[in-house]
Amino acid sequence: MQHPDLYSNAHLVVAAIRIFTHKNSKHPSLNEICKTLSFSLEQGNLVCKKLKDLGIIDVVEGAFENHLFIKDHLKIEEIPRDKKEDRLEEALKKFKDSKKDFSKKIESFQAKQAEKQKALFAELEEKLKQRANKTKPSSE
């Protein structure tokens, strides 16, 4: 089961580093952690990069591969819990808001056009009345 939030993934990665170190008496590489957790290499790299940026783990470059070390596991608790990567929801909300704004602009434009059309018809009607009055023979 994939955990979509960083908090859960952080606990999994730190636990995997501890278990791997205990079982093999060496620090794991990113590939070994990804295999242990059934993460894709891309997902594991992304999670480890975020954890490194937060100061939770450290990545030490070796001659052939990078090894992962736990730096400060207590910082995991500073990560907001149950905060999922809801970029899609945010983007959807922005899209809906922009659509509402666009709809309001269209309604405003249509109202202006309707007013212009009414004014034009009123002007044409007035001109036609004036012409009709001019061409009408006087009955005196």
98 and 70 fall within a common domain? no
38 and 74 fall within a common domain? yes
Q: Tell me, what amino acid is at 22?
A: H
Q: Give the tens place of pLDDT for each residue, 23-40.
A: 999 999 999 999 999 999
Q: What CATH number does the domain containing 23 carry?
A: 1.10.10.10
Name 37's Cβ contacts closer than 8 Å, sequence gap at least 6.
12, 13, 16, 44
- Is pLDDT larger for residue 20 or for residue 140? 20
Name 128's Cβ contacts closer than 8 Å, sequence gap at least 6.
none
Q: Which H or E run includes 59?
A: strand 57-61
66 and 21 fall within a common domain? yes
20 and 57 fall within a common domain? yes
Q: Dihedral of the CA atoms 115, 116, 117, 119 (nearest 10)? A: 90
CA distance 74 to 77: 6
Name 81's Cβ contacts closer than 8 Å, sequence gap at least 6.
5, 7
The answer to whether 33 touches 68, Cβ cutoff 8 Å, is: yes
* DSSP class of 74: G
Kindly state the average pLDDT of the residues 1-25: 88
Domain end, chosen from 34, 52, 78, is at 78
Identify whether 120 is part of a domain. yes
pTM over cut 0.75: no
Range of the domain at 14: 6-78
Kindly state the average pLDDT of the residues 116-134: 91
Q: Give the tens place of pLDDT for each residue, 73-107.
A: 999 999 888 655 556 677 778 888 899 999 999 99
Q: What percent of the chain is predicted at pLDDT more than 90?
A: 61
Identify whether 57 is part of a domain. yes
34 and 56 fall within a common domain? yes
User: How many domains would you assign to the chain?
Assistant: 2
Domain end, chosen from 78, 97, 116, is at 78
